[in-house]
Amino acid sequence: MAKPIFITPNWSAPENITAYTTTREGGVSQGDFEGLNVGMHVGDCENAVAQNRAKLPEAQKIVWLNQVHGNSVIELANDRVFDDVPTADAAITRSSIHHCAVMTADCVPILLCDSKGTQVAAVHAGWQGMYKEIIAATVQRFDISAKNLIAWIGPSICGKCYEVDEELARRFCTYAEAITQGSSAGKFQLNLPLVAFKQLSNIGVGQIFQSNLCTYCSHETFYSHRRATHNGLSSTGRIVSVIGLR
């Protein structure tokens, strides 16, 4: 069995920050979920998902979320015990006991830390989350100025692969440069990673780095929900983006 292959952010985070995003490589899931699927909610064999999750660095520290495309942020405090999976779309911690994690399969994962390496956060930002300002809600939970934060925008569907209708595109008309004409009338290409970049920039985040990796284009490396539906499948696996303090 091949070892899992992880992607580490190309950013300037302090050395005590651990951060990575998984790929499909090195897992035990089969069929439509073949590879390192970490999504327990997508219809995959739960035993396979558990084995995949156990392969992650310091797996016991990861706090998994029940993600609902909202704008709730949970704080992972030192003394907090999670008997049930918490419902939220972002997590922040100042503790080395817990690691923040968000699962994606086209949505935008965003990892955040402060320049001193004292606090970290992970954000699940699909179009709904960005429209509900999940990014700003997370940044506000840091006890330091946004200019002292560092952000990494992880693998997600790119603008060329994400065609939406006019109603959805109009929701992001503030970010005109992130919207281009689609393949037909009433269709538009929406660049979610660029929207994320703009939102981070507008709230003053000091350093922002893009992975420039597309989950749809690189379907052999990542899971893509949109590609799966285009291929007639009802579901697909999930990658996870993790960040923690050493």
CB-side neighbour CA atoms (13 Å) of 222? 29
pLDDT score at 82 = 85
Separation of alpha carbons 156 and 108, rounded Å: 5
DSSP run (H or E) holding 138: helix 134-139
DSSP run (H or E) holding 200: helix 192-202
Q: Which fold has domain 6-157+206-245?
A: CNF1/YfiH-like putative cysteine hydrolases (3.60.140)
DSSP one-letter string for 59-110: GGGEE--B--SS--EEE--TT---SSPPB-SEEEES-SS-EEEEEESSSEEE
Query: What are the pLDDT tens digits along the chain (246 aa)?
Result: 679 999 999 999 999 999 999 999 999 999 999 999 999 999 999 999 999 999 999 999 999 999 999 999 999 998 888 889 999 999 999 999 999 999 999 999 999 999 999 999 999 999 999 999 999 999 999 999 999 999 999 999 999 999 999 999 999 999 999 999 998 999 999 999 999 999 999 999 999 999 999 999 999 999 999 999 999 998 999 999 999 999
**Residue given tokens 């749809």 in the structure block:** 216
pLDDT score at 1 = 61
First to last CA, the chain: 29
| Residue in 12, 51, 15 with CA at minimum distance from that of residue 207 | 12
pLDDT score at 160 = 97
How far is the CA of 216 from the CAs of 64, 116, 124, 168, 226, in angstroms? 24, 35, 17, 19, 7
DSSP one-letter string for 23-50: -STT--B-GGG-B----TTSSS-HHHHH
Q: What pTM did the predictor assign?
A: 0.97
Separation of alpha carbons 41 and 47, rounded Å: 12
- When computed from its CA atoms, the radius of gyration of the chain, rounded to whole angstroms, is 17
**Residue given tokens 């327990």 in the structure block:** 40
